[in-house]
Each structure stands twice: as C-alpha cells, then as structure tokens.
A and B are shown apart, each in its own frame.
Chain A
Amino acid sequence: MVNMNINLGNGLRLANPVMTASGTFGYGYEYDDFTDVDKLGAFIVKGTTLNPREGNAYPRLAEVRQGMINAVGLQNKGVDYFCKNIYPKLSKYTHSQPIVNVSGSCIEDYVEAAKRIAELSGINAIELNISCPNVKHGGMSFGTIPEMAAKVVSEVRRAYPKHLMVKLTPNVTSIVDIAKAVSDAGADSVSLINTLLSMAINAETRRPLLSTITGGLSGACVKPIALRMVWQVANAVKIPVVGLGGISNATDAIEFIIAGASAIQIGTANFINPNVGNEVVDGIENYLSRHNLTLEELRGSLII
C-alpha cells in the first residue's frame, strides 16, 4: 500500500497530491455526476473576490492547438455569497479539501476576502491569485513586481492564519524572483503556473477571437514551460511548490513531481475528461508502487 498523504505545512494535509485548479472545476459539485470529487487531495474553487463580478463580455474562449485561451475575467458572486450559499454544500466532501482561490484588485480587497474565508472552519487554505491587475497602481499585475507581490502577500499573511498558497503568474522576467519574494513575505506554498498572456485572431474577419483581445493560454501546450518554471522555483525556495500547467494525465503529473513539485493541480484537462483527477491519483499510486518509491523520494528526483 503506497502512502499518498502529503503535508504542505501550516495545517494543510492532503490525502494525495492531486488537486484541481481554480476556474476549471467550478465548486466541485458540478463534477459529481462524472467523477468522485472526494477522491482528490483537494479542489480549488473558482476565483472569489470581495465583491461580485460579472466578468468579461462574450466571446471568452478561443481554442488553439493543444490548448485554449480564456478571458472569463473572474466572474463570481463575491465572498459573502460563497460563505453563505456555496460553502455549506462543500461539507459533504469528507476526504477532499476545498481550497478557495482569492482574487482582488487592491490589497484591501484581498485582505478583507481572506479574513471572511478564515472564519470558515472547513477551509484550511486559500490560494492567493496575484496575477490580477492592481487598479490602484495603473493596472499592473501584483504578481509581476517582486515588491508588489511581497506587499500583498505580507498584508494577507497578517489577516489569514491558515495555509496561504500563492499562485504565480508566468508572465514575468524571472518567476524565481517573485517566488522568493512571496516566500520571504510569509507564503506557506507557491502554486505555478497561472495562464500565459496570449491572443488569437480570425484571419478571415481580421478580428480578435476574444472580447478582450488578449487572454490566458492553458492546456497541454503550456506544459513544457510550466515544467521548466516549477523546476527553477523548486530549486530556489524552501516552501512547497504546487505544480500546474497542461497536466493531462498521470505521467505529466509525475514529471512535475520529479521536477520538484510537492503536489500538482489539473486544470484545463478537466474540461476534456472530467474524471482525469481520479485517473491521475491512481496513476501516481501505480507508478510509486511499480518503482518502489515513496512520494517523498520521487519529489525533486530528477537525474542530471
């Protein structure tokens, strides 16, 4: 029997290292008909903001080779709606941990949303999405400047005592510098990568395919970039690294763990195969047993 448990620190213990990524798995229960949500280590719910957001105009989706570009724009009903109407529905999951992805457009909003989620006894962690534009600083993404990233993380850290995972954007010169900055600011773990800034054009109409012109690229095509960044960050910080970006099967997930990830997230692949998370749990277990390795031994075991 392989031990799949993983302790990410500060109270976040998972039954296995497989999570589903924010924005790709709703609030979990949307997937109940297709998969055993409770078999996952954790599921990260949709990006939640202090106030409700309508998101961007349609069209929000462009398919590209082995991937997709989205411009959903964090549509959600706000943190109070989550606490009152959605959180109670998550108590049926007794093994899998719900983690709330928190987004904001200014530091005060992040802090206030985090405070309200801290009061929910069944939520042991938040994932802080620092890829959002900071409206008080010219719309520059919090996650692209080490000082700004550190500032939002340290402020949230003071307000939120439980596990604080920080999700990093790959749209930076050095993701290692950002990872170090948020680690020093008190993050318990980092998750990477968020989507890559990209665009798509319809040549016939000469128009962009997205209402926002640019959007976030995800799916199988981003995996090599994500793997490289996870490897670099895992070698540079002491806190656990949660790897994501294009993971579509157990082998992809195992590659991220070999690169140094303590846990992984599955994102866009959920749209194609809603049961992929369960399959990845089985696949990792099978691999460890076949290679007679523990999860701990596999992590960062890249042979160079």
Chain B
Amino acid sequence: MLKRFQTDFKVVAVENIGDYYYMLSLKHPEKLPVMLPGQFVQVQIPDSANTYLRRPISIHDFDYSAGLMHLLIRKAGHGTKLLSTIAVGESVNILYPLGNGFDIQGMGNRPLLIGGGVGVAPLYALAKEAQSQQKEVYALLGARSSKDLLCLDKFEKTTVKTEVTTEDGSLGTKGMVTNHVYMNDMLSMFTSLVVCGPMPMMRAVASIAEKAGIPCQVSLENKMACGIGACLCCVTEDKDGHNKCVCTEGPVFDSKELKW
C-alpha cells in the first residue's frame, strides 16, 4: 500500500461544468506523493454545520511537476454543493491517496474504459497512464444527455479512441453504453473492460463481461465514514457472501469477485 497523508491543499481553481458538476483543482504545499489512477481522497468540507463526515472523491487527474490534483465532483448533496462554493486560495484538508488503483497490468493491451456520468472521473488519469504503458486505449462515455457528458473534450485531446452514448440521443449513439457496438459486435476485440458509473450500469457491464469471458474491473462508490478501513461502513458483498471493505479492499474490484 502506498503511504497515505493528511494535508492542507490550496484551492487554485473551481470550474463549474454545467449545473451539476465542477472541477476542483488543488495545489500541494510541497510535492505530491505517488498516487495511482483509481485511488480516492477524503475531503473535509470546510466550516459546515450540516456536513459532519468527510466526502470520498475519486482522483480525476494529477500533475506531479505542477503539484496539482484535480477532482471532478457532482453536486450530489449538501456537502458537495457547499464545497463547490469554496473560494480560490482557501485550504481544503485531504486524506489521500486511499484505496487501490486500477490494475493496469491486468487490463491487457487493448482495454475499453466505460464511464457513466461522473463515473468518468477516475478513468481520465487511467487512460493517460495506460497509454503511457503502450496500451491501445478505447473509451466509451455514457450520459443521460449531451449536457451531462463529462470530459469528452479532454478525451478527444488524447489519442484515446472515444465513443459516446446518450439516453436521449442528443450526442453519439442513442441509448445506454450497453447498446453501443463496442459492447456488442465489437466486444471480442477488447482484452478487458474497466467500468465506473451508476450501479445498474456496472451490473450490466459486469454481466456482459462475464458472459463473454472478458476480465472486468469495476470501481465502486459506497457511503463511507473513515476511508481507511476502520469503521467498516462501506462494505460490499462478495461472491462468497463475505463483506469486503470498499475503501481498503477496493474501490476497484475484479467484477468476478463480487456478488451482483
């Protein structure tokens, strides 16, 4: 396990993306420690009477040379809404880097990364890292409509072959990610699937992967208190009926390990 830290980061940018999402860019006071795509942080929401616990947020991107970490956050509830109003220059206390990253070795040489809504957040750093390891990376981004589709511009600036589905057909293929040709006729060309998104989507993708005999990694987002394996609140049931701690045994799991 990588060494973990508690650090006050400085907010250098808060960029709203549509009505429901924002990018929080944070600068480390000295030098960023090693972190892996797929790991997450526990953010303390400053000065709030109505949020008590930290908020687990996946690491979207990091830049060691600039000492920057980027978090792509959905305004899901009181805490994440309040955090979106933080001013540039203020401090945010972070526990990081937590959990296990994606198994890049285990993805094979032609992985398909599948992101649903804000679930695309941890896949961007993964795509870049996998490419730097000479993998031929494909991405399939799904959302309700074009305005909920995140990071398409960022993916399009890379050489990742990126496709889109929207439920209302406002962009890309109409329907769910599972309706896309990548998940049907072209599925056998991929060496593995990596999925992060709403639970029904991950369940559907895991089922397709299992039937096709393709390895599949899923990244879960359970409610958690500590984020470091102490409270055991964030558990998910594995295929043998045992409870696994999402924060320390995940958040990335081999889909075959879990009960769906």
Contact = CB atoms under 8 A, between A and B. Distances in A.
Contacts of A271: 53-54, 225-227, 230-231
B233 A272 contact: no
B223 A30 contact: no
Interface stretch (B3-11, B68-76, B187-195): B3-11
Contact of A220 (B52, B222, B236): B52
A34 B226 CA distance: 12
A81 interface: no
Given A30-B228, A59-B223, A61-B224, A75 B50 contact: no
Contacts of B44: 272
B106 to A, nearest CB: 26
B242 interface: yes
A70 interface: yes
Interface string B87-110: 000000001000000000000000
B52 A65 contact: yes
A68 interface: yes
Contact of A24 (B95, B230, B234, B242): B230
B232 A72 contact: yes
A67 B224 CA distance: 13
B131 interface: no
Interface residues of A, number: 34
B243 interface: yes
B54 A55 contact: no
A58 B49 contact: no
A66 B53 CA distance: 8
B52 A25 contact: no
Interface string A32-70: 011000000000001000000011011111011111101
A66 B49 CA distance: 7
Contacts of A46: 232
A54 B53 contact: no
B235 interface: yes
A55 B6 CA distance: 29
B52 A60 contact: no
B95 A34 contact: yes
Interface residues of B, number: 32
B236 A58 contact: yes
Contact of B53 (A25, A30, A59, A272): A272
B63 interface: no
A275 B248 CA distance: 19
A39 B54 CA distance: 24
Nearest to B53: A63
B200 interface: no
B241 interface: yes
B257 interface: no
Contacts of A63: 51-53
B50 A65 contact: yes
Nearest to B246: A58
Contacts of A270: 226, 230
Contacts of B231: 23-24, 61, 70, 72, 271
Interface in B54-77: 54
B229 interface: yes
Interface string A3-31: 00000000000000000000111100011
Interface in B203-241: 222-237, 241
A66 B6 CA distance: 21
B222 A58 contact: yes
B223 A33 contact: no
Given A54-B242, A274-B6, A25 B230 contact: yes
B225 A61 contact: yes
Contact of B235 (A55, A274, A275): A55
Given A220-B52, A271-B53, 12 more contacts: A24-B226, A25-B230, A33-B3, A58-B237, A63-B53, A67-B52, A70-B225, A72-B232, A75-B243, A270-B226, A272-B54, A273-B6
Interface of B: 3-6, 44, 49-54, 95, 222-237, 241-243, 248
**List of 9 A-B pairs having minimum Cβ-Cβ separation, nearest first:** A26-B230, A61-B233, A33-B4, A271-B226, A271-B225, A60-B233, A61-B223, A30-B229, A30-B230
25 contacts: A23-B230, A26-B228, A26-B230, A34-B5, A34-B95, A54-B242, A55-B232, A55-B235, A55-B243, A57-B237, A58-B235, A58-B243, A59-B222, A60-B233, A60-B234, A60-B235, A61-B231, A61-B233, A63-B51, A65-B49, A65-B50, A68-B225, A75-B235, A219-B52, A271-B227
